[in-house]
Structure 1
Amino acid sequence: MTVQVEQPVEEVITPEQEIASEEVELQNNQENDPLADAIARVQELEEYIANADKREQEIQLRARAEIENIRRRTEQDVEKAHKFALEKFSKELLTVVDNLERGLQTLNGADESVKALAEGVELTHKGLVSTLANFGVEAVGNVGEVFDPELHQAISMQPAEGIEPNHISVVLQKGYTLHGRVIRPAMVMVAS
């Protein structure tokens, strides 16, 4: 009987297998090397700190911007409060102005005995209108002005000679603004 002896087969290693085994060996060396681990950890921490610093700067910047916005809005609110604090008081005084104007219309056709009274009412009216103007109250709605629905309230439309269409032909009650904001619209008739 013949016995065959097996000869050891030589293992053929490809270049790819050789590179892979070198990488595994390098990783094993790095895993076993505490210095390499420490360096990698330090790099991770430095990157984390840099990102944290960026986030903190963004948060601070947003907080400053928010504080600035709040300050600006508060200043605007205070300014508006100062401007329009007299709105309710001014509305009440408008009835006094209206009554003085009606009195003046009545006294204009009167005889000489009432002339001194008419002058007194007229001076009182001018003084009150001047005081209101000093505090930002101004009359709106004059005959011939262009109709503006934000300032005027149209009661009716009618044809009027000498007045262009969409212009005020008759003022029934003057309107008033306080620093540009309407506190009472003018009641008017508009030419058609």
Structure 2
Amino acid sequence: MSDAPRSEPSFDAQPVSPAPAAAPAASVPDAAAELAELKLRHAEMSDAYLRAKAEVENTRRRAEEEISKARKFAVESFAESMLPVKDSLEAALAIENATPEQLREGSHATLRQLSQALERHKVLEVAPTAGSKFDPHQHQAISVVPSEHEANTVVAVLQKGYLIVDRVLRPALVTVSAPK
């Protein structure tokens, strides 16, 4: 054991404050009123959320129905424009003693009807002229032949191609000039 004096920690005396007293009686009704108000707001928000969710679901369902109808009846307008062409062909076949001139004239009229119907629906011909540049996006080269034209130019069109707006429906079949 040591005879050295021991040092004890010093504590600063600080006054102890009493525990907070219970909330005054007046604040209990305020808390109850605030709780009731929050419950009401929660109910309103829940109702608004459910209504918004139902509206979004109804909009999605309507959009799906519209898309389904659009796909189902997409060709309706095009088919309607083809009916006069069919009628003309049937009328031509109904004539038993048609002269070659009548058949030729009827064929030209029917071809005009068909061309107009295709144009109305944005189906455009791709018929490059001889000497035009070969475009692999719109033309399909069937053969390459020696020619006086510059290399990779169209020499002859074997079959017209068609576009729907800017999309190739069928490329034009062409003969292309060979490199010299």
TM-score with structure 1 length normalisation?
Answer: 0.48
Report how many residues are paired: 147
Residue 140 (structure 2) aligns with: 154
The alpha-carbon distance between structure 1 residues 36 and 157, as it changes in their structure 2 partners (threshold 3 A), is farther
| SS, match of residue 74 in structure 2 | helix
Per-residue Cα deviation, 1:8-53 (whole angstroms, up to 9, x for no partner): xxxxx733x22xx241xx12x65xx5x6434323312322332342
Q: Secondary structure at the match of 1:154?
A: strand
Q: Partner residue of 1:189?
A: 174
Match of 1:140 in 2: 125
Secondary structure of 2:48 counterpart: helix
Percent of aligned pairs with the same amino acid = 15
Q: Distance between the aligned counterparts of 1:50 and 1:39, measured in 2?
A: 16
The aligned residue for residue 126 of structure 1 is 112
Post-superposition offset of 1:141? 1.4
Which residue is equivalent to 2:44? Answer: 53
Tell me how far apart the structure 1 counterparts of residues 126 and 175 of structure 2 sit (CA, whole Å): 11
Unpaired segments ≥5 residues, structure 2: 1-12, 86-98
Residues 150-192 of structure 1 show CA distances to partners (whole Å, capped at 9, x for unaligned) of: xx46244747666785x765443334456x4869413423757
Map 1:38-187 to 2 at 5 A.
38-85=29-76, 117-134=103-120, 136=121, 138-144=123-129, 147=135, 149=137, 152=138, 154-156=140-142, 158=144, 165=152, 170-176=156-162, 180=165, 184-187=169-172
Counterpart AA for 2:158: L
Q: Please provide the CA RMSD for this pair.
A: 4.5
Cα contact 1:87–1:183 (8 A) shared by 2: no
- SS of corresponding position for 1:14: coil
Gaps of 5+ in 1: 1-12, 94-112
TM-score (norm 2): 0.51
